[in-house]
Amino acid sequence: MKRLVICFITFVLACITFNACSDNVTYAELLDNEKKAISNFIKDNNIKVITQKEFQDAGCVTDVNKNEYVQTTSGVYMQIVDKGSEDIGDTIRNNDMVLARYAEYRLEKDSAATLVISNLDVSHVAQVDIFRYQKIGNSASGLFSSGMMYYVYSSQTVPQGWLIPFNYIRDGARVKLIVPSKMGHETAMSAVKAYFYDIHKFQLYR
């Protein structure tokens, strides 16, 4: 009888362990889910993906009428809706303060993108995201000093994906970005989630 009880307990524990293991999602599976979420978003929004060479051959612009996005070497998909100012003096440079007006959406594998943050309708400057852009050589970074991204995610670090367009735009530009987790904020990286950004304006804050 005692041996039967022990066997039964062992069986129950084995079942619990199996169920716990089956509920765990591996990092590879999370990456696969992220890849599917990006693929579905591209398909659902009729996005035409062009190569880096095609982008450069076109003069580093994307055809908005064709809904073109260039897939960068970093994995970020970028559409330049408006390059911004035509004045070369308005190029975004090292140590510039940049204001961003945007909407952030989280991409899901089996559902539509979910709106997470938007500061498009806010008027108070504390809710508008402002960060310092820093670039040394080929290395770029950004630190938020205020805004909703800083408040919601409790991090000063600007998503690396946001900085990709700065090689091609100037003050007042509008861009759209599909940012994979590895190029996103800390929450995106830890959850292995891709995000879509419609950044209505990158504006020099002087």
The answer to the question of residue 11 being in a domain is: no
Query: Each residue of 69-78: pLDDT tens digit?
Result: 999 999 999 9
Question: What range defines the domain where residue 114 resides?
Answer: 48-204
Enumerate residues 6+ apart whose C-beta is below 8 A from 102.
117, 118, 119, 120, 129, 197, 198, 199, 200
Domain total in the chain:
1
The answer to the question of residue 10 being in a domain is: no
The answer to the question of residue 148 being in a domain is: yes
Query: Each residue of 142-171: pLDDT tens digit?
Result: 999 999 999 999 999 999 999 999 999 999
**pTM attached to this predicted model:** 0.87
The answer to the question of residue 150 being in a domain is: yes
Q: What is the CATH number of the domain that holds 200?
A: 3.10.50.40
Query: Each residue of 53-86: pLDDT tens digit?
Result: 999 999 999 999 999 999 999 999 999 999 999 9
Which residues are paired to 91 by β-bridges? 170
